[in-house]
Amino acid sequence: MPRPEVEGKAGSVSDAPVADAPMQNWADRYAPAWILPYLRLARADRPIGFYLLALPCFWSVALAGLHAGAAYPDPWLLVLFAVGAIVMRGAGCTYNDIVDRDIDARVARTRSRPLPSGQVSLKAALAFMVGQCLVGLAVLLSLNTFSVWLGFGVVPIVALYPFVKRISHWPQAVLGLAFNWGALMGWAAVLGRLDWAPAVLYVGAVAWTIGYDTIYAHQDREDDALIGMKSTALRFGRDTKIWLSGFYAITICAMGLAGGLAGAGPVFFAGLALACGQLLWQITTLDIDDAENCLARFRSNRDFGLIVFFAILADMALASAL
């Protein structure tokens, strides 16, 4: 049954969902009151981030399987990367909220988050982050040795990310470097090495993240300018669609090249053309002055990622049948 409402006050769960969480999301409806602030801290009430973190891993696992002649991706690796994406996305969001708690309290969209609103203490948030990291470490250690060492390589990038917006207009680029590490990890987990295909896929995925997170950042453009924070949304301004066209073009070209290097066939490229259409829809219908419009186009990147993944799956199935 849905969770009963709890009166909102400092130190308690608020009735209202966090500002950018979907209405009637599963956490707000069903989670017990005592755990709800932690689910919000881990962004479990906003599952789009899970897809955006997990899908580059899935692409990479599938492309490595295609390169190796498999009929389908390794299901166990997909499960491991899904679990890893859930906990490490949660840990990363918790870390960002700890670092940004004073800033979040000054931004309309983020002041309802658990730390600035007082629903979770700093000590509890730190303990929650450590617990999630330990689960993520267990997932990492279940992979081959090369992948384990590669996995540790992303830690400095993740640690740097929340500080970049204080000094540079390019925090979205650093987010891209961190959020798409799975594009390297998936290939390494399958084959125990890196090749040009995952490297090129990583470049395309980073460009994709710069694009979609620029769209997301336009929701906070005015607040960020007032408090001195920087973003590509502020850097690009009214030229955002031109910049998005460039970054999304890099995304499609790099993904096409990665697919070619992995041995993909026409089914994959047909799917990639459909995915390209989805990105074009984002650009042509974007209204940077409408927060709801920006949020909807940002969330639609789940669809883009799924189209690419299913295109690889279809290509693998066809290749194995011939």
List the domains of the chain with CATH numbers.
26-321 (1.10.357.140)
Q: Is the pLDDT of residue 200 over 60?
A: yes
Rounded CA-CA distance 40/4 in Å is: 17
Where residue 136 falls among pLDDT bands split at 50, 70, 90?
very high
Mean pLDDT along residues 258-272: 97
32-36, 129-133, 187-191, 271-275: segment of lowest average pLDDT:
32-36
Of 154, 143, 162, 152, the C-alpha closest to 94 is 162
9-23, 35-49, 265-279: segment of lowest average pLDDT:
9-23
Termini Cα distance of the chain: 49
pLDDT at 17 (0 to 100):
60
Of 301, 283, 290, the C-alpha closest to 239 is 283
Mean pLDDT along residues 229-258: 97
Q: Is the pLDDT of residue 12 over 60?
A: no
pLDDT at 199 (0 to 100):
98
pLDDT at 23 (0 to 100):
62
Q: Is the pLDDT of residue 6 over 90?
A: no
pLDDT at 11 (0 to 100):
40
All residues at 6 or more sequence positions from 182 whose CB lies less than 8 Å from its CB, including other chains: 53, 54, 56, 57, 60, 81, 85
Mean pLDDT along residues 243-268: 98
Hey, what are 213's tokens?
């997170």
pLDDT at 306 (0 to 100):
98
Where residue 111 falls among pLDDT bands split at 50, 70, 90?
confident
Amino acid type, 180: N
Where residue 20 falls among pLDDT bands split at 50, 70, 90?
low
Rounded to two decimals, the pTM is: 0.90
Q: What is the largest CA-CA distance in the chain?
A: 63
Where residue 21 falls among pLDDT bands split at 50, 70, 90?
low
Where residue 109 falls among pLDDT bands split at 50, 70, 90?
confident
Are 312 and 59 in contact, with CB atoms under 8 Å apart? yes
How far CA 141 is from CA of 79, 189, 276, 302, 304, in Å, comes to 14, 11, 36, 28, 30
The residue among 5 and 262 whose pLDDT is bigger is 262
Percent of the chain's residues with pLDDT above 90: 74
How far CA 150 is from CA of 19, 52, 82, 154, 162, in Å, comes to 36, 20, 18, 8, 22
Where residue 9 falls among pLDDT bands split at 50, 70, 90?
very low
pLDDT at 98 (0 to 100):
92
pLDDT at 225 (0 to 100):
86
Hunting for tokens 């066209």 — which residue is that?
245
Rounded CA-CA distance 49/41 in Å is: 13
Q: Is the pLDDT of residue 26 over 80?
A: no
